[in-house]
Amino acid sequence: MTTTDPTTDPTTDPTTDPTAINRFVDAIAAGNGLPADLFADDATLDATVPNWRLEEHGAAAVAAQLSTWYRHRTRIERACARDIAGGVALELDLGWEDDGVPHAAHQLHLLTVEHDRIAEDVVFCGGRWPAGLLAEMEAARAR
C-alpha cells in the first residue's frame, strides 16, 4: 500500500488526524461495513457514481450508505493519501470477490476530518468492475 504519512509530512494540515483515515481504510478492508462512530454526527456524503449522484446526511445515514459499498472483505491494492486544503484526498484501488466473481474499483475520496471523525466525504467512483470487464480493460491497456 502506498500512503503519505500525515504525522511526518511537513505539509500536513494539523487539523487532520490520520487515525480517522486509517480507521476508514481498515473498515473498508474488513468488509463488515463502516461504523457510524467513524463519522461526525452531522457528517455528509456527496457521491458521484456511474450515471448517478447521491447525498446522505448524518453519521448513521453516511455509514449505512457506504456499508452497502463495502460489504465484502476487500484487498486494498493501492491507497494514496494526499493532503489538500481542509482535508485529505484518498485514492483507492480496491479488489474483492462477489459470489465468487472477482471485482475491482477505483475511487477518490475527498475527506474532511474533524476531531478524529470524518465530517465530509466527497467521493468519485468509476463503478464496480466484474472480471469480464477487467479483462477487457487489461486487453485495451496492452494495445
Residue 115 CA, distance from chain mean position = 19
pLDDT for the residue 17: 57
pLDDT for the residue 94: 96
Beta-carbon neighbour count of residue 15 at 10 Å? 11
What domains lie within the chain, and their CATH numbers? 18-142 (3.10.450.50)
Place of cell 448513521: 60
pLDDT for the residue 3: 44
Length of the chain: 143
CB-based contact 59:92 (threshold 8 Å)? no
pLDDT for the residue 10: 36
**Res. 1: pLDDT tops 70:** no
* Per-residue model confidence as pLDDT tens digits over 58-93: 999 999 999 999 999 999 999 999 999 989 999 999
pLDDT for the residue 111: 98
Which residues on neighbouring strands pair with residue 95, listed in sequence order? 75, 104
Mean pLDDT, the chain, rounded, equals: 88
pTM: 0.83
- 88, three cell numbers: 485529505
- Name the pLDDT band for 128 (thresholds 50, 70, 90): confident
